[in-house]
Structure 1
Amino acid sequence: MFIRSIITPFLILVALTCSADSGPVRAWQGRIGIDIPLPVPAIELTSANPFASSVDTIPRLTGSTAPRKIDVAGSAVVAAYIDADGNCGGAVPLEVPFPGLTSSLLKGMDSGRFEPATTGERTQPSWAVIELRIEGNVKEATVISQELALPDPNDPPEPITPALPPPAGHLLQLPAVQADELTSLAHPKKIKVRASGSEPVVSVQALVHINAQGRCDQYVPIVLDSGLNRWLSGFLATWRLEPSLREGQPVDAWVVYTARIRMKFSTLQSASFRVLADRTYDPS
């Protein structure tokens, strides 16, 4: 009887609460979803060529010294076909750091010794992408021709990658297991690349920044073999110029430098090599 006297008032209270909640919704209690478009002001950015220079005169080169006996180095990247016996059936240059190095790269790969790729315990034919560090020396250099010009503000120059020969026809037909199907990649045990000294004429083009003091303090290569960056940097550091003028005052300016330079190289040779596991090659 004592328990019933407590429960009964509680049930009555719950019933009254539910009855109040189920009443009609007042107008001010309703929720209405309305999309109100808000105007967003358009922000316009000015398109500009950061290398364009508004100047009255072009810088004039008054003195420079082509560096001699400069050590140079660069990375060559080659795709090599390695058969199931570990023989190189051919190679395709992908990146060449110095002029005239392509044939020596191919010869070095053909005579190299390799460990073939595997799937489980079975050896497989495959393509391997190999990077070689090539080192040498620029013994001397002679500028044949050169000029400075202002960049076209409407068509800024872009870096140009040297064209490389396509893979030989027979390489397109060779069977090869894809890298993602291999347990281990093919890798070289021994590679020796050696290119005898040569004197090629090298084409160079770069965006060059000339400050108001008549010195070059920045450059962006456009046409340049990647292994010659150190030589070009040293050459530009020797420049003495009459800077650009604007309303009679010296100012900074970007210019396009174009030149043909005869370089005398010492022997170029490989110093190290490694497989680039994150790169693959498909000759097709």
Structure 2
Amino acid sequence: MDPQAEVEHILTIDCPERTGIVHAVTGFLLEQGRDIVELKHFGDRRAGQFFMRVEVAGADAPDLTEHMREVFAPLAAEYGATWSLAPKGTKMRVLIMVSKFDHCLNDLLHRARLGELPIDVVAVVSNHTDHQSLAEWHNIPFFHVPVTPESKPAAEARLLELIEEFDVELVVLARYMQVLSDELSRKLTGKTINIHHSFLPSFKGAKPYHQAWDRGVKTVGATAHYVNAELDEGPIISQQVQDVDHTYSPADLVAAGRDTECKALSNAVKWHAEGRAFLYGNRTVVLR
């Protein structure tokens, strides 16, 4: 088959564990004339849940994606599966929120511009105006939404308006230093990723690197996780760590942590956008 005439799709499946799922799915793909390029799966026997991600390739055809979705739906229903099927390379629509620190924002915008992340950053929202010029340099709409204790409900309502207006699929908190309300966190469950500048579950809350210095840590790190109503308790997607020693001051630890924050967050965004991260309960499965 001429690779130039092929089209690739990604199929993800999350369902109760049951004998025969892999056989059923691969049989379906064979019937559809799809070649399997990559297949990852995991059955969590303790939780009784099964996760699968398949990249497939095959001849293109008119309305191919909709046809495959239509014929796969009965099989998915038989296994009680939550599933998605989309052409590979489909870019996820992302809104990034940021406060004063710009390193994670800059890293995400740079990687997106280079094509390293399968995302389309459709808006940047901040409670400060510091990074408006950076967003505009990337030709991305910037929205200043200030937050005070009195204006927080209105600010969160404005955020929801922007999410709807830009048809946002994922919200990324790239060092956004405001705590989302429980109500907003629930509305955005599974659709919001936060970077915490610490190796969770240690050193939650404010100034984690200073907490780490007080404890004489020998490593620092960062944690990217889904947001839920519990502060810094969301399901972990990605973590990065770096060795340090007693010579590091709190400022040195902060500097060392910046790279881990950028890498942990970009990995989490990439894995989510590629359909590799599955959320269930307070855990994740990442098929990579």
How high is the TM-score relative to the length of structure 2?
A: 0.18
**Structure of higher RCO (CA pairs closer than 8 Å, 6+ residues apart):** 1
How high is the TM-score relative to the length of structure 1?
A: 0.19
Which protein shows a greater Rg?
1
Q: Which has the higher strand share?
A: 1
